[in-house]
């Protein structure tokens, strides 16, 4: 049973990492949450994969900023904002969901953006006291 859990977590980590990598080029998919999820999955299942990911030149700093300070760097904040506003707005415009659903979706967008923009930025605003 323990091996099944390990393999499921490794699989979930790999899938999450693939989504994160795709999110680098597709504004619809956010990179940061998928990479963080992959790090969590790997930390519970594969020290080798976890070590590789946290030491990766692109993803490692993102994970370390989040683990140490709960921080999201400004470029990631801007990319998330762009994705939510432009792609989310365009989706709402094209799909035209019912009024109540639109209000709920916009509230979720605002909540996510509020969370993202209230995180430390990973620069000089990151300190042990934050």
- Tens-place pLDDT, residues 78-128: 888 888 888 888 889 999 999 999 999 999 999 989 998 999 987 544 444
Position 8 confidence tier, pLDDT thresholds 50, 70, 90: very high
Q: Whose CA is closest to 77, among 120, 126, 35? A: 120
Regarding whether 58 and 112 lie in a shared domain, the answer is no
pTM of the model: 0.68
Regarding whether 38 and 90 lie in a shared domain, the answer is no
Regarding whether 45 and 23 lie in a shared domain, the answer is yes
Can you give the residue range of the structural domain that contains 13?
2-69
Rounded distance, CA 109 to CA 15, Å?
Answer: 24
Instruction: Take residue 17 and report the two structure tokens written for it.
Output: 């990492």
Regarding whether 53 and 90 lie in a shared domain, the answer is no
pLDDT at 2 over 90: no
Q: How many domains does the chain have?
A: 2
87 located within any domain: yes
Give the count of alpha carbons within 13 A of 2, CB side only: 2
């Amino acid at each position: 049973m323990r091996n099944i859990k390990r393999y499921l977590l490794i699989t979930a980590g790999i899938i999450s990492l693939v989504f994160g990598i795709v999110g680098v080029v597709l504004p619809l998919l956010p990179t940061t949450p998928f990479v963080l999820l992959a790090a969590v999955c790997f930390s519970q299942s594969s020290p080798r994969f976890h070590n590789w990911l946290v030491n990766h030149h692109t993803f490692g700093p993102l994970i370390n900023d989040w683990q140490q300070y709960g921080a999201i760097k400004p470029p990631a904040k801007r990319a998330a904002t762009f994705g939510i506003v432009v792609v989310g707005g365009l989706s709402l415009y094209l799909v035209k969901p019912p009024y109540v659903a639109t209000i709920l979706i916009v509230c979720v967008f605002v909540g996510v953006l509020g969370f993202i923009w209230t995180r430390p930025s990973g620069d000089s605003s990151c300190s042990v006291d934050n």
